[in-house]
Amino acid sequence: TDCGNHSLFEHPEVWDIPLITFKREAKDGQPETNAWCELNAQRVCPDSIVNKDLLMQAKSVDYPPDQTYDLYYCKHNGWLSKELKALQHDFEGMTARAEQECSSRH
């Protein structure tokens, strides 16, 4: 995908802009994009969207065994629930659920 137009490293002023501001639907020949892509942070996230494989990060990143932050972050946000685990191979279903999550919390 062509993104990274507002890199955190080159444009520190973007730190105070709400992340949702960087979300853009696909249109006029341009692909969908989001804050992860536009800010050049965790490029595997937008790559997962393009490939319609939300497990791409889990498949491609080798986390150190002593790194436990993600487990607790995901667990305490409810993202390890049976409901979400059932959607792990359903790109459209998980995308719809993510939209619901973002709309209800923010």
What pLDDT score does 87 carry?
A: 94
What pLDDT score does 2 carry?
A: 62
What pLDDT score does 39 carry?
A: 87
Look up residue 27 and give its amino acid. Answer: K
CA distance 30 to 46: 14
What pLDDT score does 50 carry?
A: 82
What pLDDT score does 106 carry?
A: 52
Q: Which positions of the chain have pLDDT values less than 50?
A: 1
E-assigned strands of 1-106?
Answer: none
What pLDDT score does 20 carry?
A: 84
- What are the residues facing 33 on neighbouring strands? 24
The answer to whether 76 and 60 are in contact (CB under 8 A) is no
The answer to whether 12 and 44 are in contact (CB under 8 A) is no
What pLDDT score does 32 carry?
A: 78
Average per-residue pLDDT in the chain?
84
